[in-house]
Amino acid sequence: MEKIFIENEYLKVGIKLFGAELTSVVSKESDAEYMYQPDGIHWNKQSPILFPNIGAIRENSFVYEGKSYPARKHGFARDYAFQLEEQGESFATFLLTDKMIEEEYPFKFELRLQYSLENNALQMTYSVSTTSPELYFAIGGHPAFAVPLEEGLTFEDYHIQLESEAPVSKLELEIPYLASLEGVPFTEGDFTLHHDLFTNDVLLFKSKDPKFKGKLYSPKGQRSVTVHLNGIEAVGVWTMADDSPFICFEPWDGYPDLAGDTTLNLKEKKNILRITKDTPYQSCATFVFE
């Protein structure tokens, strides 16, 4: 499967055209691989793009302008090859449009994902535009990082640290839906990882602080991954509830369907974004590798 590489003096990064999926982040100083590498036993993905919906969508369908359309968990973008639109030594931009998909889908769109490097940081910039009168969607990332990040440590040696100057809420799930958009106050800024945390799927946190960030690290180790949300409201922390050797840091702009909201009408959903042909969307998440 064709892969694109970008690099600078600190990092070398690999991205597949299929799904514009991030597959490798290697430190040039230590030769350490930060990304989870599928082993045929655990998860078979590494960094799918979540678009045009995140998580579960009720009845695997939605209604727009009186017509029903099929849909599926986490959307369809991860299931298509993107076009390499532009590439330089330290950046690459990938494009998916409505003309490139086989879905029955009522909106015209252009979805771009740009990966760019600056020092020891990788910025993932999401851009969405439409020539339709409007477009309803959610968008997010799902990159999986290796845990442990260095030899001699275990999964349970790692912590997640959340930093925010605004209150942080933990959003609870009523599987497979989201219980509410408000969540409950979360004041535990640092917690230890263990797989039992994920028996109810993703841990999801949100904050209004544009400097909201999360860090994957071990007090016993040297390497870490920090995600800066840059105004994206929520971050998911996820792994499989077994012995899977990875943690996903998931920047989410939009949410799964709400447990108490039974509507299929896309215009009535409260968990997604709306843009018009005059108001394109852009956001970015920055991952720092130390």
pLDDT tens digits, one per residue of 59-109: 999 999 999 999 999 999 999 999 999 999 999 999 999 999 999 999 999
Q: How far apart are CA 86 and CA 93, in angstroms?
A: 5
Q: How far apart are CA 232 and CA 223, in angstroms?
A: 25
Copy the structure tokens of residue 22: 């991030």
Beta bridge partners of residue 51, listed in sequence order: 75
Number of independent structural domains in the chain? 1
Beta bridge partners of residue 63, listed in sequence order: 68, 265
Copy the structure tokens of residue 213: 């960030």
The answer, as to whether pTM is greater than 0.85, is yes
Copy the structure tokens of residue 75: 């959307």
CATH number assigned to the domain comprising residue 138: 2.70.98.10
Query: 38 lies in which domain range?
Result: 3-289
- Reported as a single tens digit per residue, the pLDDT across 139-163 is 999 999 999 999 999 999 999 999 9
Q: How far apart are CA 75 and CA 289, in angstroms?
A: 28
At 192, is the secondary structure helix, strand, or coil? strand
- Reported as a single tens digit per residue, the pLDDT across 226-278 is 999 999 999 999 999 899 999 999 999 999 999 989 999 999 999 999 999 99
